[in-house]
Amino acid sequence: MKIAVITSAPEFIQSYLDNTILRQAINNNSVLFHVIDIRDFAKGDYRQIDDTPFGGGAGMVLMAEPLIKAIDSAFIKLDTSIDNVKVIYPTPQGNTWSHDLVIENTVNENLIFICGRYKGIDQRVIDKYVTHEYSLGDFVISNGELGAMVMIDSVLRFHPGTMNNIDSALSDSFSTNLLDHPHYTKPRVVNGVSVPKVLIGGHHEKISSWRKIKSEDITKKKRPDLWEKYNKSIKKLETSHE
């Protein structure tokens, strides 16, 4: 997998990469990662990358020209053309990011993320290059770097080479349309509260059955919509086995 992030805050992206499990995927070359600084493609002593919006109004807009050059350089770095790459713009206007979208994106070989700032990016860049727009949710944050890293992190957790044990990602919330069960670690008793007995009995079947029941109860209580989805998926599975 090859990923390029086009950003005006390369140190933010680098710091995230250096301090999370993504570092492992990069170090063992299972993911080739390029952080592309928009300012490297800006003109003039001030390396201007933003300007006032045509038509007036508050806020600045990321300029098209440096962005276009940065995107073209990403194609070269990823050794690909626009036909073989998903160009993602994290934006409040996109489809809401979800587990299903995470899984859908694990099969892409080449991903380019364009991080917006201020009022956003010049529309001509979106029209020419962006293939997918995704949103973190119905709210606005100040930059696309956070959005891009949320999306990249959630996709790479399912990429072989990122986590020591991929089963850990596969047993987390949403993978089977259920929320995760509770977790406990040492010591056995904290402030007089003991861990559930079943977890220290060493009986693997009993433990996995307890965990499944807990996951189901929690999902039913906290996310009735997901619970419905889970039941539908079970019914579908049963019908396909008949």
Task: Give whichever of 53 and 161 is closer to ligand SAM, judged by the CB atom.
Answer: 53
Applying the rule CB under 6 A, the residues between 90 and 149 that interact with ligand SAM are 90-93, 115-117, 119-120, 135-137, 139-144, 147
Applying the rule CB under 6 A, the residues between 35 and 54 that interact with ligand SAM are none
Q: Tell me how far CA of residue 77 lies from CA of 34, 48, 159, 179, in angstroms.
A: 8, 23, 21, 39
Task: Give whichever of 25 and 136 is closer to ligand SAM, judged by the CB atom.
Answer: 136
Applying the rule CB under 6 A, the residues between 52 and 91 that interact with ligand SAM are 90-91
Task: Give whichever of 143 and 176 is closer to ligand SAM, judged by the CB atom.
Answer: 143
Q: Please state, in angstroms and rounded to a whole number, the distance separating the CA atoms of residues 101 and 158.
A: 12
Applying the rule CB under 6 A, the residues between 168 and 227 that interact with ligand SAM are none
| Nearest distance from C-beta of residue 152 to ligand SAM, angstroms | 13
What is the DSSP pairing of strand 86-96 with strand 61-62? Answer: unpaired
| Nearest distance from C-beta of residue 136 to ligand SAM, angstroms | 4
| Nearest distance from C-beta of residue 21 to ligand SAM, angstroms | 22
Task: Give whichever of 66 and 144 is closer to ligand SAM, judged by the CB atom.
Answer: 144
| Nearest distance from C-beta of residue 139 to ligand SAM, angstroms | 6
Task: Give whichever of 144 and 227 is closer to ligand SAM, judged by the CB atom.
Answer: 144
Task: Give whichever of 50 and 230 is closer to ligand SAM, judged by the CB atom.
Answer: 50
Give the residue among 47, 19, 45, 22 at the shortest CA–CA distance from 33.
22
Residue with the closest Cβ to ligand SAM?
116
- For the chain, give the longest Cα–Cα distance: 70
Under the rule (CB under 6 A), what is the footprint of ligand SAM? Answer: 90-93, 115-117, 119-120, 135-137, 139-144, 147
